[in-house]
Amino acid sequence: MKRRTFLSLAAAAPAVSAASLPDLGRIPTRKVGKVEVVFKSPALEGQPYGQPNGLQATEEGLWIIDQGAGSKAYLVSYQDGKVLRSFNTETDRSSGITFDNGTLWIGSTYSRETVRVDAETGKTLERHFTPGAGVIYQMKGDPKQRSSPVASQYPRPGRGGGKKGGGGQNGQQAGGGQGRGQNVGGFQMGQVLGGAAPGTGAHGQEVRDGVLWFVVPPSRMVYSIDPKTWVIQTRFPVAGNRPHGIGWEGKYLWVADSNLNACFKHDTDTGEMVEKIQLAETDPLPHGMTIWQGNMWYCDDVGIVCRLKL
């Protein structure tokens, strides 16, 4: 290439701007109903409460994935949380669940996999790597780490000192390198383990028209993927540094963010955020989320399932 041609092309190229956080103040805020605690999540053995971290609404009932021991999946009644079916899964402190034609897709957070299991037995059918998995990073201007404002109402033996940034109370048990044996996860993982940090994977999951959608906190992105080929179909960025549950309202996808204490409605054709719901400072913290019959259901991993009228 001649020098004159190179210089003319360089002059025509757009300037590269520094990365910046989205302007969330411009997004219209929707007025919604008051958050209602509907029932306690099924309790874990030896604990007064469960640790719900993902929800999926279905005709049969509400699916809950628990991040505690056994990463147990529950199908419960919408009315009172009565357990209709339950089983352990071969996933690691999971953070999202969705139903797909007699099976469940589950985000296995700390193995950084997306796992498909039989919805009757919990038997593992498929295991896949999670695009965008890694160590959650911090960025200038990020919101502070947020804890549940209602945690003191749902005391759990040994609560405290748990992981930050990834949802859950027990944290990531380090397997090697510096920080061996420490309970660290989320943002703490990179700070404590450095280059030995293994990272985390997907959170909220949804299936629509045969396509699997999920959100990945380390990359701050929503992905849709063809589950037959495991090829990404589309992706777009989210509002904040701790995206969690996702749910459909018509053609739009809502994404909950635990640190922003809010939910953001995305146009999936463009990724644009067109509306938001801002929760009150005293409301339970959003983790898993799903939408059913005009209500947004979400769980706080202290052990409760909530809903609000959209």
Whether residue 15 lies inside any domain: the answer is: no
Tell me, rounded to whole angstroms, the distance of Cα 143 from its chain centroid: 17
Q: Which domain holds residue 105?
A: 25-136+146-309
Whether residue 2 lies inside any domain: the answer is: no
Task: Copy the structure tokens of residue 290.
Answer: 């799903």
Longest CA–CA separation in the chain, Å: 74
What pLDDT shows up at residue 177?
35
Task: Copy the structure tokens of residue 5.
Answer: 């041609």
Secondary structure of residue 111 in the 3-state scheme: helix
What pLDDT shows up at residue 162?
37
Whether residue 5 lies inside any domain: the answer is: no
Mean pLDDT throughout 202-220? 97
Mean pLDDT throughout 297-306? 98
119: alpha, beta or left? (left if phi > 0; alpha if psi -120 to 50): alpha
Q: Using CA atoms, how far apart are residues 204 and 110, in angstroms rounded to an integer? A: 14
Secondary structure of residue 257 in the 3-state scheme: strand
Whether residue 19 lies inside any domain: the answer is: no
Task: Write down the pTM of the prediction.
Answer: 0.87
End-to-end CA distance of the chain: 58
CATH number, residue 289: 2.120.10.30
Whether residue 1 lies inside any domain: the answer is: no
Q: Using CA atoms, how far apart are residues 57 and 10, in angstroms rounded to an integer? A: 52
Whether residue 141 lies inside any domain: the answer is: no
Whether residue 268 lies inside any domain: the answer is: yes
In angstroms and rounded to an integer, the radius of gyration of the C-alpha atoms of the chain is 20
Each residue of 60-110: pLDDT tens digit? 999 999 999 889 999 999 999 999 999 999 999 999 999 999 999 999 999
Task: Copy the structure tokens of residue 89.
Answer: 């899964």
Whether residue 294 lies inside any domain: the answer is: yes
Strands 211-216 and 36-40: unpaired
Q: How far is CA 152 from CA 16, 20, 43, 155, 200, in A?
A: 47, 36, 17, 6, 27
Q: pLDDT band at residue 115, thresholds of 50, 70 and 90?
A: very high
Q: Using CA atoms, how far apart are residues 283 and 215, in angstroms rounded to an integer? A: 23
Residue 273 predicted with pLDDT over 60 = yes
| Cβ proximity of 17 and 263 under 8 Å | no
Each residue of 150-208: pLDDT tens digit? 999 998 776 543 333 344 333 434 333 333 344 566 777 877 878 887 889 999 999 99
- Domains identified in the chain, total number: 1
What pLDDT shows up at residue 130?
97
